[in-house]
Amino acid sequence: MKLSFESRRQSISKMQEQILDLLIIGGGITGAGVALQAAASGLQTGLIEMQDFAEGTSSRSTKLVHGGLRYLKQFDVEVVSDTVSERAVVQQIAPHIPKADPMLLPVYDEPGATFSQFRLKVAMDLYDLLAGVNNTPLANKMLTKAEVLEREPDLSPEGLVAGGVYLDYRNNDARLVIENIKRASQDGAFIASRVKAVGLLFDDEGQVIGVEAKDLLNDTTFEIKARVVINTTGPWSDTIRQLDDQHQTAIMRPTKGVHLVVDESVIKVSQPTYFDSGEGDGRMIFVLPRENKTYFGTTDTDYNGDLAHPRVTQEDVDYLLRIVNRRYPKANVTLSDIESSWAGLRPLISGNAASDYNGGNSGKVSDESFNHLIDTVKAYLDGEANRAAVESAVGSLEGSVSEKTLDPSAVSRGSSLELDPNGLLTLAGGKITDYRKMAEGALLKILDILSEQHQLHFRMINSKTYPVSGGEFNPANVDEELETLAELGVRRGLSREDARYLANLYGSNVPKVFNLTNKYPFGHKLSLKDWISLQYSMEEELALTPVDYLLRRTNYILFMREQVDQMVDPVLQTMREYYDWDEATTQKYHDELIATLNENDLKHLK
Ligand code: FAD
C-alpha cells in the first residue's frame, strides 16, 4: 500500500477492526525498524506516531552512521564492534542513504586530549579491524601536521601535532526512518502519523491488550487492540510506561544536543572533522560539510523541558561558537552567521554509560582490556608480535564482552529492551546506527511471546539483507547504480544535477518520482524537481504539512535555507490544492512553517 492520506485513513479503520499481532507506539527509527521487520515476517502490525515520522530525535541527530571512534579511547571494543558491523549492514539495506565520508581527527597537544598520536593510531587500526576494512583502500591513515593543514588550512596550527583519517558514513536520519516506514507499509503494516497513544487498555488480569489512541487531525479517540504492544517512543518512553499508574520507575535520562549550520564560506571544511572541545569537559565536536553548508555540534546538557520542543539556547550557541572559533581562528563565526539549527534529545538509559557515545566521560575503563591490547600492539610495532597476535588480542576482547554475556535486557550496547510486569515492551536507547540490530532483538522477544502466549508462530526474515524502500539496487555499486537511475530523469527533462539529487534522495523509487514529470503544470512556481518531489512526498510518503516536506522528507530548512522563503507559498498552495484545505487549515500550516523557520533561524536569540 502506498503511504498516503488515504492509506492513513484505511489504517486507522483497520486497526480498530481486528486484534493486531503487534502495535508499535512511536515512529522514530526504533519504531520504524521494528515495523519493517515485523511486517516482513508476516505479523499483522500497526504503528502510530503522534507527530510526523522522525519528528522526535530521529531527525535531530549528527547525521552519521558511525562506530563511535571515541569509545576506543577507553577500548570499549564491544560498543564499536556492534556499531561498525551494523554500519556496514545499514549500507547494504539502504544503499542510497549512508555514504562513505572519511573523517579527519586532528590531534592537539593539550591537557585532557582524547587521543595522542599513538593512541589514535591504535584506536583507528582496531576500528578498521572491527569493521573489516583494514588493508583496503578505506583503511585509516595518519597525517603529519603539514598534511592536516594542507587538507584543512583554516584549522588552528597552534598545538596541532598530527591527524588521522578513518572511514565514517554520512547519514540522512529522517529519510532512513521514512524508508523503513514505507517498506513496512508496502508489506501490509497499518501506519498512521498524528495519532497519539493516550491510554493503555488492560484485561482483567492487568495485562496490556492495546491502547486508547487519539487521531490528532480530528480529535477523535478510538481503541486499538494488540497481542503485543511495544513502546518505541525514545525520550517519551517513561511517559508511555507511566500511563499505567502502577508503574512509576523512570528509565530515561534525556540530554539535549544542538547543531548549528553556517554557510560554507564562513567555515570551509573539505571533509568531516572531529576534535576535542578544548573545554576540558571530555566532549568532542563534529564539524561537517553538507550541501553548500557547514554544520557543527553537539552540546550535551541534562534536559527537563518539553520533550517535543527542545530549543537552542544562548548558552548552547556560546559554547559551540567558542569551540569552533578556537579551532578555526580565521572564521570568527557569530550568531548572525547561523542560518539554521536543530536541537534533539538523546534517549539515554539511566546508568547505561554506553549510550553516551558522543562525548562526556562514560566512565567505562577496562584496565585489563586496555593493557593487554596495548602490550600486544606495542610488541607488534616493535616487530615482536605478528598480526595474528593482535587479531587474537582483539578477538579475545570481543569474546569477553560478546553479546552472550550481555545483560539480557540489552539488545545492543547502549539500548535496552524491558518487559514490564503488565506485558508492555519498551525498546529504547541505542543509536540510529544500530537500529536494525535493536529491532531484531525486540522481534525475537515478540515472536517468543506470540508463540508461548498465543500459539502463533512466525518466521523471522533475515533483516541483514532485507532492503528498505528505495534500497533495491546493488549496494556494491552505488555510484554507478544511482547514475543509471539519474539518467532516466535526464531523459524526462531534468538537469543532470537535479536528476542526481533526486536519485540520491529516493534510490530505487526514483523512477516513480520521474514518472510524475508528465503531470507537471508548466509555469508552476516550483521547479520541476521540487514539484515532482513534493507530489511524491504526498502520494507515497505521507507528508501532511509543509514542514514535513521541507524539513524531514527533504533537508531544505536545514541545508538549503536560502531557497526556502521563495518556496513557502508555492509549497503551501500545492499542498492546499492536493489536500483540499480550507482557509483556516491553510493559515494554520502557514503559521506552523513560519514558526519552525523562526525557531531554526534562532530568531529568539538574534
Ligand atoms: P525518537 O526518534 O524520538 O522517536 C520516538 C517517537 O515516539 C517520536 O517521533 C514521538 O513523537 C513518538 N511518540 C512519543 N509519544 C508518543 C505517543 N504517546 N503516541 C505516539 N507516538 C509517540 N545516532 C547515530 O547513529 N548517529 C548519529 O550521528 C547520532 N547523533 C546524535 C546526535 C544527537 C544530538 C542526539 C540527541 C542523538 C544522536 N544519535 C545518533 C542517537 C539517535 O538519534 C537516537 O538514538 C535515535 O534517533 C532514537 O530514536 P527513537 O526512535 O528511539 O526515538
Count the neighbouring beta carbons within 10 Å of the beta carbon of residue 605: 14
Output the pTM of the full model: 0.92
Report CA(146)–ligand 1 centroid distance (Å). 40
Angle, helices 496-506 vs 528-540, to 10°: value is 20
| Cell numbers that stand for 213 in this block | 489512541
Pairing of strands 169-170, 99-100: antiparallel
Over residues 15-21, mean pLDDT: 98
Whether the pLDDT of residue 295 is over 80: the answer is yes
Question: Does the Cβ of 431 fall within 6 Å of ligand 1?
Answer: yes
Number of alpha carbons in the 13 Å side-chain half-sphere of residue 446: 36
583: cell is 482557509
What percent of the chain is modeled with pLDDT above 70?
91
Q: Which string of DSSP letters, residue by residue, matches 115-150?
A: --HHHHHHHHHHHHHHHT-TTSTT--EEEEHHHHHH
Question: What is the b/e burial string over 295-313, where b = at least 16 CB atoms within 10 angstroms of the residue's CB?
Answer: bbbbbbeebeeebeebebb
Grid coordinates representing 307? 520533550
Q: Looking at residues 499-511, what average pLDDT do you find?
A: 98
pLDDT at 393 over 70: no
Q: Which atom of ligand 1 is nearest to the CA of 31?
A: 51
pLDDT greater than 50 at residue 498:
yes
DSSP 265: T
CA distance linking residue 51 with residue 58, whole number of Å: 12
Which residues is 296 bridged to in the sheet? 260, 287
| Ligand 1 in reach of 28 Cβ (< 6 A) | yes
CA gap 32, 34 in Å, rounded:
5
Give the gyration radius of the chain's Cα atoms.
Answer: 24
Higher pLDDT: 368 or 36? It is 36
357 — pLDDT class (breaks 50, 70, 90): very low
Average pLDDT, the chain: 90
Of the candidates 114, 38, 21, the residue with the CA atom closest to the CA atom of residue 71: 114
Average pLDDT, stretch 44-49?
98
pLDDT (0 to 100) of residue 391 = 65
Atom of ligand 1 at shortest range from CA of 344:
36
With 70 as the cut, is the pLDDT of residue 247 above it? no
pLDDT digits (tens, 9 = 90+) for 263-293: 999 999 999 999 999 988 888 999 999 999 9
Answer with the residue of higher pLDDT: 129 or 21: 21
Question: Taking residues 375-391, what's their average pLDDT?
Answer: 73
| Between 583 and 136, residue with greater pLDDT | 583
Residue 53, pLDDT above cutoff 60: yes
Q: Whose CA is nearest to atom 9 of ligand 1?
A: 56
10 Å CB burial of residue 314 (0-12, 13-18, 19+) is exposed
- Predicted confidence (pLDDT) per residue in 367-379, tens digit: 565 666 777 777 7
How high is the pLDDT of residue 213? 98
Asked if 114 contacts 279 with a C-beta cutoff of 8 angstroms, the reply is: no
Cell of 375: 602490550
pLDDT in tens, 92-141: 999 999 999 999 999 999 988 988 999 899 889 988 888 888 888 889 99
- pLDDT of residue 233 exceeding 70, the answer is yes
Q: Which atom of ligand 1 is nearest to the CA of 255?
A: 36
Sorting pLDDT into bands at 50, 70 and 90, what band is 365?
A: very low
Neighbours of 177 (CB within 10 A): 29
The answer to whether residue 397 scores a pLDDT higher than 80 is no
